[in-house]
Structures are given as C-alpha cells and as structure tokens.
Amino acid sequence: MNLPIIDLSGYLNPESPEDRERVIAQVRDASRQYGFFQVRGHGVPPSLQHDLIRSMGNLFSLPKEEKLQMSFLKNPCRRGYEAAGMSLREGDPLPDAKECFYIARDDPIIELSGFYGPNLWPNLPTEDFRDPVWKYYEQTSELGKTIWSILLEGLGQPPSLVEKFAHRAIVPMKMIRYPPQSTTLPGQFGIGAHTDFGGVTILFQQTGKDGLEVWHEGKETWIEVPALEDVYVINCGDMIQRWSGGRYKSARHRVINKSQGERLSCATFWHGDINSTNPLNPDDLNSETVGQLLVKRFRNQYSMTKESIAQVGAA
Ligand SMILES: O=C(O)CCC(=O)C(=O)O
Ligand SMILES: [Fe+2]
C-alpha cells in the first residue's frame, strides 16, 4: 500500500481550470482516506533542500555542550535545541531517539506565550546555517499556505479565506536528526507514534532515508512512506480533523530509521494566525482559535505558566 503522489503544478501553474480542480480533488480524497499524501511540483527549489540538509549537518555536528546551551526548554519562545531523550510520550516505554532544532516566525518582541518572538541561532557563520535555513523556511511556509488554500477549496470555501488566516501565521519548523537505529535501545523509536496537533505539516525527508510509517485505520496497517528525491510528505493535524468535522483525517505516524546511517528530516507546521477561528467551516458555532487549540496540546508537553496561557485566552 502506498500514499498517493500528487503533482501540485496543476494548482500552482494551471493550464486550464480542470488542472486546479483535479489537484483539489486529489488532495481532498487523500486527506480523507489517509490524512497524508506526497507531492511533487511544489515549488521549493532542490538547491534550497540540499542547503538545508548541509546546514543541519553543521548544526548537529556541534559539540554536545554547545547544543545544550541552546536548549529549547530554557527559551521563552521554545526555539532552539532538543536533545535525544527529552521527548517521552504518554504510553511509550522509552523516549524518542531523535534530536531536534526549532525555529519559527522571527519577531523582535516576545508576545502571546512566546508564539511570537525572536529565533535562537547557533554560533555558526551565517552562510553555514542561518541564511540557508531561513531561505528554506520562507519557501516551505509558502507551500504550507498553498496547501491550506487547496484544503479550503476542497470543502467549498473560497481560497481567498487563506489570506486572513495567514496573517501573522504561527509556523514552527523542526529540524530533526535520527541516529542510526543500531545505536538505539531495543524497542526505542526515532519518534514514537503520534498525531500532529495543529494544521498542515510539510515534511522533507532526506532522500533515500526511509523510516516514516503512517497508520491506516481501515486496513489496520502501517504504510511505509519512501523518502523520494524532491518529493514532500504532507499531512493534516488534529486541528484540521476537528475543524473539518472529520472529513480530513489526522493520522498516527512514527519513525523507525531504516537507513544505514543517520537520517535527517525537517517538519514545517503551518498552523495559521493565532486569533483565527475555523476557516474550513466559517459557520462553526465553536469559536475556538488557533492559539487556544495549540495551547491545549502544548501545555501537556511544555511547561507553560498560567499567565502565559491566559494571554492566548485559553485559561
Ligand atoms: O521525521 C519524520 O519523518 C516525521 C517527523 C514527525 O512526524 C514530526 O516531527 O511530527
Ligand atoms: Fe509528526
């Protein structure tokens, strides 16, 4: 069983109205059946993908002490470094083997529980990390916005709704390194089974480094997702499942590094403006905002103070 691969160029550069309609239908069907799909023709230049992988290599090769000084647990905006073993999901016997580095929107002032604020950058020459990573971030954010507009159209909403939803959109990006599976403990996952909790996830897998598996509810089986060159994996998070009334699924997934050496990947989580309500169904009587839904999930995972939770109106 394979995930569908959808060519987005029919939406981004249509030669006829049918091209767009076809992509919208393909994305809708895949999101309904799997909650996941792969895409080509996405518009993120391969050179930026390669530069990202090179930059991630530079970051993760820094000495452990230097990485730990950038710990995201000490950062008011949850930017920076997460070491292997820091992430343990309820029900999992062992913590994830992965290590990560987080960036997000770059704002000069810390606001709203650190959803807005400045990034933390490693002490590397800008051309070896910051510049290429930021260029990549901007392109992948653009792709996230495109996917949202396709999802909106798939449920009969005007794509223009995405403009308001994208105002100061919350878009964290997580760069991930999985150690070789042979160096992990028996029964330890790269990342244990979970659903993503927000909007759209845009995942880049280092070419040839397989490891991602997606749970298919109906068939009760794990679908392996190959790490193909210049192909992205897209999935819907819990907020989308909820807001679409279950028409788009948020599927469980996990990573077991199947490659010989380490495996790099990068996930961009495109959530939307913190004060926005449900754009997939503007008649939704439930007026929960992006910020409120994110805080609900975040507060279990990170230490957030009562004051900071109150700031996003999710006491
Ligand atoms: O690295 C991957 O392939 C998946 C990462 C993931 O699921 C996540 O970060 O939420
Ligand atoms: Fe995930």
CA of 278 to the centre of ligand 1 (A): 25
User: Of ligand 1's atoms, which has the minimum distance to the CA of residue 265?
Assistant: 1
3-state helix, strand, coil in the chain (%, to 5): 35, 20, 45
Cβ of 205 below 6 Å from ligand 1: yes
296 vs 294: CA distance, rounded Å = 5
Question: What is the pTM (predicted TM-score) of this model?
Answer: 0.95
Q: Which of 87, 176, 189, 215 to mutate to test the pocket of ligand 1 (most atoms within 8 A of CB)?
A: 176
Residue nearest atom 6 of ligand 1, based on CA coordinates: 267
pLDDT in tens, the chain (315 residues): 899 999 999 999 999 999 999 999 999 999 999 999 999 999 999 999 999 999 999 999 999 999 999 999 999 999 999 999 888 888 888 999 999 999 999 999 999 888 999 999 999 999 999 999 999 999 999 999 999 999 999 999 999 999 999 999 999 999 999 999 999 999 899 999 999 999 999 999 999 999 999 999 999 999 999 999 999 999 999 999 999 999 999 999 999 999 999 999 999 999 999 999 999 998 999 889 999 999 988 766 554 556 655 666 654
Q: Tell me, what's the ipTM?
A: 0.99
Determine the distance separating the centroid of ligand 1 and the alpha carbon of 246, expressed in angstroms: 22
CA 144 to the chain's CA centroid: 9
The atom number, within ligand 1, closest to the CA of 254 reads 7
Q: Which residue, 261, 256, 271, 83, is CA-closest to 172?
A: 271
